[in-house]
Amino acid sequence: MVSGPSTTHPGKRLERAGQARSTLLPAIVLIAACACPAWAAGTKDPKIVMQGPVQPAAAACKPVYLTLDTGHMAVAPLMAEILNKHQVKVTFFAANERTQEGDGSLGAQWAPWWKARAAEGHEFASHTWDHVYWRGDVPAAPGAQQQFRMRPSAGPLEGKEFTWSAAQYCEEIGKSARRLEAITGKKTLPLFRAPGGKTSPALLAAAKSCGYEHVGWSPAGFLGDELASEKYPNDFLLKKALRDVRSGDILLAHLGIWSRKDPWAPKVLEPLITGLQARGFCFQTLREHPQYKAWIDAQAGSAPAKPAK
């Protein structure tokens, strides 16, 4: 039998369709209600994950290590304000250098300043006491202790050249470290920085034998505040640092440079910090540096050793 066209009256078809819609409507509403996000329905069902928009995971910061050596200290208060404003922690390498005011950068006048930096969470290490430059190794006889030609740029022997033993050099490093501990109440890191970064393998071995590891700086981390401002203006130095600094770099600047006519600090310090932070960098102290962390941990709680005389 072949089916022909439906003979149902059009009005009856519309009536049945209306009945079907009225039957389906509650089910559609129920399905729609169940399809809304759980957080919108206010559900407390632990089986339902309450999840809003997916947020991208925060990328790990790229660490850099800002280190500040002592100088004439006139800009030190402003530099400290900038560091505190941006919650940047640094490692200070301190010597008792001549200052524009007071009796030396580790003298009584500057003691409260150092103590305040310790309270802010900064770290400290020695830069020798009289900012003593290594000038050369002195050939030693077989079995004799290595000696070094030295020249301080501060203190009573400023500008004079003389010979020191390894033990005397260790005492020079330790004197600054002990003074920092006395005025800050905080143990210094078992690190030091030779003025100008001038060293020899023998000098480094002597310092390490009495508990001090040397810290230099990265090529891109030399921020140029010692250079003549006529040839290396602040804008140039800032752009160079922001362009060249890489993750893991140790940066070097000073708490005032006598010879620079247009001071680097504090003019460059703040835009350097904010510029590096905008590029995904974060600032850490040398206590966290992977190259020195094991050494620092190994020296914790031990008094610096003294080399054999």
Domains and CATH numbers, the chain: 62-129+174-299 (3.20.20.370)
| Residue the block writes with tokens 């030693």 | 140
Identify the weakest region by mean pLDDT among 140-149, 184-193, 272-281: 140-149
pLDDT of residue 143: 81
pLDDT of residue 141: 82
Question: 195-201, long-range: CB within 8 Å, 24+ apart, which pairs?
Answer: 195/95, 195/127, 195/128, 195/131, 195/132, 195/133, 195/153, 196/133, 198/133, 198/134, 198/135, 199/134, 200/134, 200/136, 200/137, 200/148
Task: List pLDDT tens digits, range 212-239.
Answer: 999 999 999 999 999 999 999 999 999 9
Question: Which two three-digit tokens encode residue 77?
Answer: 């208060």
Q: What HEC string does 145-214 produce?
A: CCEEEEEECCCCCCCCCEEEEHHHHHHHHHHHHHHHHHHHCCCCCCEECCHHHCCCHHHHHHHHHCCCEE
Mean pLDDT of the chain: 84
Dist. CA 80–CA 157, nearest whole Å: 31
Please report which confidence band the pLDDT of residue 302 belongs to, taking 50, 70 and 90 as the band edges: low
DSSP-assigned letter for residue 76: H
pLDDT of residue 244: 98
Identify the weakest region by mean pLDDT among 141-150, 155-164, 207-216, 255-264: 141-150
Dist. CA 169–CA 235, nearest whole Å: 39
Which of 32, 4, 6, 174 lies closest to 94, judged by CA? 174
Measured at the alpha carbon of residue 45, what is the angle toward residues 44 and 50, in degrees to the nearest 5? 75
pLDDT of residue 145: 85
Please report which confidence band the pLDDT of residue 119 belongs to, taking 50, 70 and 90 as the band edges: very high
| Residue the block writes with tokens 């690190």 | 191
Q: Is the dihedral of CA 100, 103, 107, 109 positive or negative?
A: negative
Of the two residues 37 and 63, the one the predictor is more confident about is 63
pLDDT of residue 268: 97
Q: For residues 125-146, give the mean pLDDT.
A: 93
Helix (H) or strand (E) holding 282: strand 281-283
Q: For residues 10-37, give the mean pLDDT.
A: 40
Q: Quick check: 159 and 132 in contact, CB under 8 A?
A: no
pLDDT of residue 188: 98
pLDDT surpassing 90 at residue 10:
no
Which of 66, 113, 65, 73 lies closest to 255, judged by CA? 73
**For the chain, percent of residues with pLDDT exceeding 90:** 74
pLDDT of residue 29: 36
HSE-CB for 177 with a 13 A CA cutoff: 21
Q: Residue count of the chain, please give it.
A: 309
pLDDT of residue 88: 98
